Every structure is written in C-alpha cells, then in structure tokens.
Amino acid sequence: MIRYNFTQEIDKKIIETYTKENRLKGDISTLSSIIKIPKYIIYKRAKKLGINNILFNQKWSSQELSLLNKNINKSVNFIYNLLIKNKFRRTKSAIKNKIEEIRKTIRIDTYNAHTLALCFGVNNDTVERWIHKNYLQAKKIGNLFSIQLINIKKFIQNYPNKFEISKVNQLWFLDVIFDGKLFKNLE
C-alpha cells in the first residue's frame, strides 16, 4: 500500500482547487496529474480537510436562478450546459432538485416529456412510450413533446396503473388532482 505525504503546499493546492469559484469538471484530474496523486486519494484528503462538499453547499445566485427559471421546461442536460457556458457550476442532481423545488411553488400548464418524467419519477422513455401508445395525449414540436396539464390529468384518471404512486412527486400530483387548489390552501 502506497502512503502519500501531504505537505502544506499540497493541501493548499487541494483547498484552492476545491474552493475556486468556477470549478470545472476535470479540475481534480488536472490537480492529480500535477501533484502525482490519484484522484481518489485527493477526494479522501479533501474529505479529511472538510472541503469535499463545498460545491454542494453553495446557495443559488440570482443569475443562476434567472437562467433556471427562463429554461425550466428544458432538459437537465440543457440547463447544465447553459450554466457551464455562463461560468456556473452545478451538478445535474442539484439542477434536478432545484427544478423540483421550484415546481412545488409554481403551477405550469404545459410540460415536456423530460419534465413530466421528473414529476412521475420515471425516465423519458416511459413518458414517450405512454405517448406512443396513446395513453397520454401530446403535441410533437420539433423533436420534443408538449403535454398539456389537462391531458396529464386525463392520463392519471384513465391509466392509474401505468405509474407507481410511490415514485411520483407527491405535492405535484396532489396539485394536479386538486386543480391547483392545494397550494392556495397551504398559503
């Protein structure tokens, strides 16, 4: 077993890499090649230094939220790439979680397959299968499906056995069933 000697200089480089404002994918790999220590050892050291979760604990800036809100019906991958292009760094999981959090506070009338998949807790292929089998009515716009809220409600009423209720975003589901009155009652 190889033991690595962490000097103050190496620790400083690890801290700088983990705490820099616009950390990009590959920065840890670059550091690994510079200091000649494998990435998994660097991750362990960062954890020991208490800095491995810095990226995950950052609050969303107003610019990030603005980009997210303008593109909320786009795919997580699209938003991820848009944030990177604008020099922001978020994991795809963080983006997905933030979208779900935002959706709990707003009501929209049109969904794309990806967004609806997030709400039902399934993958995009499942939603597209429902559409192709005519369980769920949708319009195809380019290569995306546009699904009206009224059609989602009909799908839920007519095909309740096509999805697992335990995987569905519960607040979203109740809001659809109760025609948007759920959040009004909670205020």
**pLDDT reported for residue 186:** 46
**pLDDT reported for residue 48:** 83
pTM: 0.46
Token duo for residue 164: 């697992």
**pLDDT reported for residue 22:** 66
**Residues 130-151: tens digit of each pLDDT:** 999 999 999 988 888 899 999 9
pLDDT exceeds 60 at position 183? no
**Residues 37-89: tens digit of each pLDDT:** 998 898 888 888 877 665 555 678 888 888 887 887 788 899 999 998 998 87
Percentage of the chain exceeding pLDDT 70: 87
DSSP designation for 163:
S
DSSP designation for 141:
E
Question: Which residues partner with 140 through β-bridges?
Answer: 145
**pLDDT reported for residue 56:** 53
Q: Give the integer Cα–Cα distance in Å for 185 and 177.
A: 14
Q: What burial class does residue 147 get, using C-beta atoms within 10 Å of its C-beta: 0-12 exposed, 13-18 middle, 19+ buried? A: buried
**pLDDT reported for residue 103:** 65
Q: Give the integer Cα–Cα distance in Å for 75 and 137.
A: 20
Mean pLDDT of the chain: 84
**pLDDT reported for residue 187:** 42
**Residues 103-125: tens digit of each pLDDT:** 655 567 788 888 899 889 899 89
